[in-house]
Amino acid sequence: MSTPEYLARRLLQLIPTLIAILVIVFALVRLLPGDPASAILGDRALDADVERINREYGLDRPVPVQFGIFVRQVLTGDLGNSTSLKVPVAQLIAERLPITMLLTLMAALISVALAVPLAFVAALRRDRLADSAIRGAFQVGLSMPVFYLGLILLTVFGAKLRWFPVGGSGDGFLDLLYHLVLPAVTLALSLAAVLMRNLRAAIIDVVDADYVTFARSKGLRGGLILLRHVLRNALISTLALFGLSIGTLLGGAVVTETVFAIPGAGRLMVDSITGRDYPVVQSLTLALAVLVSVTFLLTDLLQAWLDPRIAR
């Protein structure tokens, strides 16, 4: 099968997945106790006010009708208004999601930048001091809760050393990047630990494989062997793990965005769930699902490029 065919098949597979997500999220958010009116009005809600709000957001209509409206909104791109923030959902997602995507991307890049070289060092110096030190350090990073790690980084590099701002999102793109460094590192460390361990094991397997011994016997230079033969083959399984971790990374962004006061999609999601903001929860879940699916697709394509047997 050629790559375009493979791509087309994978894109078609996306459609039922997204439809399933559409139905599940619509149902789930309504199965939660409480509703937008009770979240908006809180303890002082009077019956008349609850009725007024339900009428205002069409929540007094039969559930199948509400579902029909939701599907139409998704198809037309007009996602309605947030019940808690009163602004268009599409505008909210357009404001918040890119920040989370940037944070996730930065975290992914940092974790790869940390994991790949250190995995090489650890694998090639197997069971020696460098290996133990790297694995030991990552073990600490991996076992620390994200919010705690974030607070430590904030205290040390923000409040004490003043190298980075203590949370917030800054003004303009460059300032935003600067503000996202500490949260991205916070998110990256646990992923880097997982990737490093996986890649280290894979490199150890590959280094001893026959084709590497063969390449060496052909007289190829060490660096070229590491890059073309060892890394390429070792990366296949690590890449799959990396793709799967993007979902986890987006989940971790929820906590990180709260600790670092970043107005991203993770915080919007938490606020919308506690606020029973049905329109935002529905559309944002769908948007995140699309994002994760596209990431999976990209990693699969990369894997297929690294190992053409996969696309077959």
Partner 1 sequence: MTRLLMTGASAAALIAMAFTAEAQERGGTMTYGRYADSLFLDPVLNDANVDIWILSNLYDTLLLPTEDGQGVQAGLATDWTVAEDGLSVTLTMRDGIMFSDGSPITTEDVVWSLDRARNPENGIWNFLLASVASVEAIDDKTVTIRLSQTDPSILPALTVFNSAIMPKAAFEAAAGATDAEKAQAFSEAPIGSGPFVLESWERGASMHLVRNEHYWDMGEDGQPLPYLDGVTFEVIPDDATRILRLQSGEIDGAELIPFARVAELQNTPGIQMELFPSTRVEYITLNVRPEIEGEVNPLSDPKVREAMNYATNKDAIIQTVTFGVGTPQTTYMSSATPLAAGDGPLFPYDLARAQELMAESGYPDGFSTTLLVLAGNQDEIGIGTAVQQMWSQIGIDLELQQVDNATRTEEYRNGTFDMRVAAWTNDIADPGQITSYFAYSPTIDALHSGWKNEEVDQLFEASQSETDLAKRTEQYARIQEIFNATGPTIPLYETPYPVALQERVHGFVQIPLGNNIFRSVWLDQ
Q: Considering beta carbons, is residue 206 or 288 the nearer one to partner 1?
A: 288
Q: Considering beta carbons, is residue 166 or 310 the nearer one to partner 1?
A: 166
For the CB of residue 36, give the shortest distance to partner 1 in the complex, in Å: 8
For the CB of residue 150, give the shortest distance to partner 1 in the complex, in Å: 8
For the CB of residue 157, give the shortest distance to partner 1 in the complex, in Å: 11
Distance in angstroms (rounded) separating the CA atoms of residues 53 and 36: 8
Q: Are 99 and 263 in contact (CB under 8 A)?
A: yes
For the CB of residue 241, give the shortest distance to partner 1 in the complex, in Å: 30
State the chain's maximal CA–CA distance in angstroms.
Answer: 84
117: its two tokens:
């070289």
Amino acid at 155: T
For the CB of residue 215, give the shortest distance to partner 1 in the complex, in Å: 51
- 20-59 residues in contact with partner 1 (CB under 8 A) are 32-35, 38-46, 49-50, 52, 56
For the CB of residue 37, give the shortest distance to partner 1 in the complex, in Å: 9
Q: Considering beta carbons, is residue 251 or 263 the nearer one to partner 1?
A: 263
- 212-251 residues in contact with partner 1 (CB under 8 A) are none
225: its two tokens:
């062997």
Q: How many residues bind partner 1 (CB under 8 A)?
A: 49
Rule CB under 8 A: say whether 60 interacts with partner 1.
no
- 194-213 residues in contact with partner 1 (CB under 8 A) are none
For the CB of residue 204, give the shortest distance to partner 1 in the complex, in Å: 41
Containing 13, the helix (H) or strand (E) segment is helix 3-31
173: its two tokens:
């793109």
Q: What share of the chain is helix, strand, coil (3-state, %, to 5)?
A: 80, 0, 20
Phi, psi of 81 (to 5 degrees): -105, 145
In 3D space, the residue among 264, 272, 309 whose CA is nearest the CA of residue 291 turns out to be 264
Distance in angstroms (rounded) separating the CA atoms of residues 108 and 266: 16
Q: Which stretch binds partner 1 (CB under 8 A): 17-25, 194-202, 215-223, 269-277?
A: 269-277
Q: Are 146 and 248 in contact (CB under 8 A)?
A: no
Q: Considering beta carbons, is residue 165 or 279 the nearer one to partner 1?
A: 165
For the CB of residue 68, give the shortest distance to partner 1 in the complex, in Å: 23
Distance in angstroms (rounded) separating the CA atoms of residues 178 and 171: 10
Q: Considering beta carbons, is residue 43 or 127 the nearer one to partner 1?
A: 43
Q: Are 293 and 18 in contact (CB under 8 A)?
A: yes
Q: Are 159 and 79 in contact (CB under 8 A)?
A: no
- 135-194 residues in contact with partner 1 (CB under 8 A) are 147, 151, 154-155, 158-159, 162, 165-169
- 86-115 residues in contact with partner 1 (CB under 8 A) are 86-87, 92, 95-96
Amino acid at 174: L
For the CB of residue 279, give the shortest distance to partner 1 in the complex, in Å: 14
SS3 88: strand
Q: Are 71 and 234 in contact (CB under 8 A)?
A: no
For the chain, how many helices (H) and strands (E)? 13, 0
Q: Considering beta carbons, is residue 48 or 129 the nearer one to partner 1?
A: 48
- Residues at the interface with partner 1 (CB under 8 A): 32-35, 38-46, 49-50, 52, 56, 81, 84-87, 92, 95-96, 147, 151, 154-155, 158-159, 162, 165-169, 258-263, 267-268, 271, 274-276
